[in-house]
Structure 1
């Protein structure tokens, strides 16, 4: 192939190559045998103070129904594991600020403030969050950091079902000796419980 033709071929292929690289850069849970199972992948890094996990499952409900559940922040205590309260203190079309209160075993209470940002299309639902400052809290009453997202798309074989991706990073901060279970409750253990709770919530609502 002569040099001008080779250059033209490279230019035409570049967008497809870039798209492929970008797709591989996104963390994705490993698949399981049944699509309704919950696949969990640990993306934690030794250099990071927190832990990072991704989970995937399929739920027998359409995207818009599940999206409505996830965007109804005050109702989180009705189905989200360990969630005792979710108070919306500021809301706009493209974000909400929500004060979260978790009730953990042994009487442990943790509070933190989230900025949640929905980015939806007629076919998909994406809800990301990150922790923002809550000045009145002491270090022992909150967590160091958390962020993540929900991403919902129709199942390719049946649009009445939804492929649900859930990605979360959690750093509880200082954990006293004997309380390492708090780390798992806020990260790995919460993933299957949260997805199963969303599944159950969708089944019980009309």
Structure 2
């Protein structure tokens, strides 16, 4: 799983508009959601899901990211930002990854190291919320992987346990806050398909959005 799309991310940060004036809480929330939607739909990826083709955001996985929206995210309670090459970003990655509920055999350290390396290779400014969302999506991928392998092994009880954990991962707070429209709903449909034993949506999701480090040893 690519943590961010380099070209589009550079453009978003470079072209960030001046911070807008903020009004009521409702106006702030609406503006935050619109900014998140603009970011996550700016790099479309065709993906056929249970209800047709969706515009996906996984190649970006961070919203909001542009420095110009700092005032908006601060007003909404997301005022912590990290330079992705900094020690603070490493600490945030380690902290968010350590709190994940993950299946046996998951190498969370390998995934945290991958994010840290990406942050050093291509330095950007990320909100802490975005960093947490990336970690939470890793948990989704981990439980999809666990379900897929248990399904292949005919482990019914293990599949049920994976579906329950997958649903919790999908509803994680930062994942929900950075949805931007359609991501959570699609993942919920994938979880529903897994619950009835339909492997095809799970396979599609894994192939499209879960080529991440630390998934090989999951069981």
Fold shared per TM-score above 0.5: no
TM-score band by shorter chain is under 0.3
Larger Rg: 1
* More strand as a share of residues: 1
TM-score normalised per structure 1: 0.28
Highest RCO, 1 vs 2 (Cα 8 Å, sep ≥ 6): 2
TM-score normalised per structure 2: 0.27
